[in-house]
Amino acid sequence: MNYRTFEIMAGNNFVLCDDRVQASDYGLIEGVHLSFYKNIDECIDKIEYYLKNADLRSTIAYQGGR
């Protein structure tokens, strides 16, 4: 994880990024604070999913910002 990820989250913005094992070292939980993808197909699937589920996307963004 780098500082830019945390800057994005601090602004209550939704983060979708490639799978980061060390995220749990910072207390971050997949689907609670941000979302990860493992490959390009999963990335596309998650983009489509979160575009259709704006409330969930907003909740994750808010929790990440906290």
pLDDT tens, position by position, 11-42: 999 999 988 768 888 889 999 999 999 999 99
φ/ψ of residue 34, rounded to 5: -165, 175
Q: pLDDT for 38-56, tens place per residue?
A: 999 999 999 999 999 999 9
Q: Can you give the pLDDT at residue 21?
A: 66
pTM (2 d.p.):
0.88
Q: Answer yes or no: are the C-beta atoms of 64 and 15 closer than 8 Å.
A: yes
